[in-house]
């Protein structure tokens, strides 16, 4: 339930609700869900990704900027996804092979593809083609936990959010410094 002006409840309408509503077509088989600012994405047991809600920057990943009040399929992610994280107006997926793909707004480099160009469909995060075991997304930056305990972050870096000892934004993943190799989980604020 809640605000539904962009269809972010996923029930096929834009009517607000004071009680929980069912997401259209997702009554079973969902293994992971993540909510961004006004959009939500889910990973299905088949490994496919569906998203719904606002889409002004392509954060639904369906190749359009049209809002969706019911789940739409993310282009090129019809199988093989393990988990999903949604940031402010972007989304990233961790694939079973340990690679990461992101889509949506990219003004601070939060897609990690070496550009600051928005993408309406998933793009590869530079250097994260394998060995990633967890993802987290903040408002405008994301981080990945690497097999063996390393952490890499990309995007907005005000106040040192990327942990690389600078305050410079990065459109590619950078190593978080000063961590011991026994990191087992990550999260964003």
Q: How does pLDDT run across 168-179, given as a tens digit for each residue?
A: 999 999 999 988
Q: pLDDT tens, 98-107?
A: 999 999 999 9
Across the chain, mean pLDDT equals: 96
- How much is the pLDDT for 64? 98
Closest CA to 118 of 99, 93, 90, 97: 90
Percent over 90 (pLDDT), the chain: 91
- How much is the pLDDT for 1? 81
Query: Going edge to edge, which strands form the sheet with 151-155?
Result: 132-137, 141-146, 151-155, 170-175
In this predicted structure, the answer to whether residue 133 has a pLDDT above a threshold of 80 is yes
In this predicted structure, the answer to whether residue 186 has a pLDDT above a threshold of 90 is no
pLDDT class of 180 with cuts at 50, 70, 90: confident
Residue 62 and residue 182: Cα distance in Å, rounded? Answer: 37
- How much is the pLDDT for 184? 82
- How much is the pLDDT for 181? 74
Q: pLDDT tens, 43-64?
A: 999 999 999 999 999 999 999 9
In this predicted structure, the answer to whether residue 185 has a pLDDT above a threshold of 90 is no
Percent over 70 (pLDDT), the chain: 100
On whether the CB atoms of residues 90 and 36 are closer than 8 A, the answer is: yes
Residue 157 and residue 167: Cα distance in Å, rounded? Answer: 5
User: Taking the CA atoms of the chain, what radius of gyration do you get in angstroms?
Assistant: 16
Q: Is 96 exposed, middle or buried (0-12, 13-18, 19+ CB in 10 A)?
A: exposed
**What residues contact 53, with CB distance under 8 A and at least 6 apart?**
6, 7, 8, 10, 36, 38, 39, 40, 59, 60, 67, 68
Element (H, E) at 83: strand 81-86
N residues, the chain: 189
Q: Is 31 exposed, middle or buried (0-12, 13-18, 19+ CB in 10 A)?
A: middle
pTM equals 0.95
- How much is the pLDDT for 23? 96
Q: pLDDT tens, 15-34?
A: 999 999 999 999 999 999 99
């Amino acid at each position: 339930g809640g605000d539904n002006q962009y269809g972010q409840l996923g029930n096929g309408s834009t009517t607000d609700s004071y009680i929980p509503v069912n997401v259209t077509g997702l009554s079973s088989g969902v293994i992971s869900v993540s909510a961004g600012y006004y959009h939500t994405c889910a990973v299905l047991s088949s490994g496919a990704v569906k998203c719904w809600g606002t889409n002004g920057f392509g954060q639904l990943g369906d190749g359009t900027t049209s809002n969706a009040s019911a789940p739409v399929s993310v282009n090129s992610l019809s199988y093989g996804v393990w988990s999903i994280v949604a940031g402010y107006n972007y989304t990233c997926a961790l694939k079973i092979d340990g690679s990461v793909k992101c889509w949506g707004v990219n003004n601070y480099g939060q897609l990690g593809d070496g550009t600051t160009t928005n993408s309406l469909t998933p793009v590869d995060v530079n250097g994260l083609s394998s060995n990633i075991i967890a993802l987290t997304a903040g408002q405008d930056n994301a981080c990945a936990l690497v097999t063996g305990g390393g952490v890499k972050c990309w995007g907005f870096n005000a106040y040192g959010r990327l942990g690389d000892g600078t305050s410079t934004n990065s459109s590619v993943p950078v190593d978080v410094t000063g961590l011991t190799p026994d990191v087992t989980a990550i999260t964003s604020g």
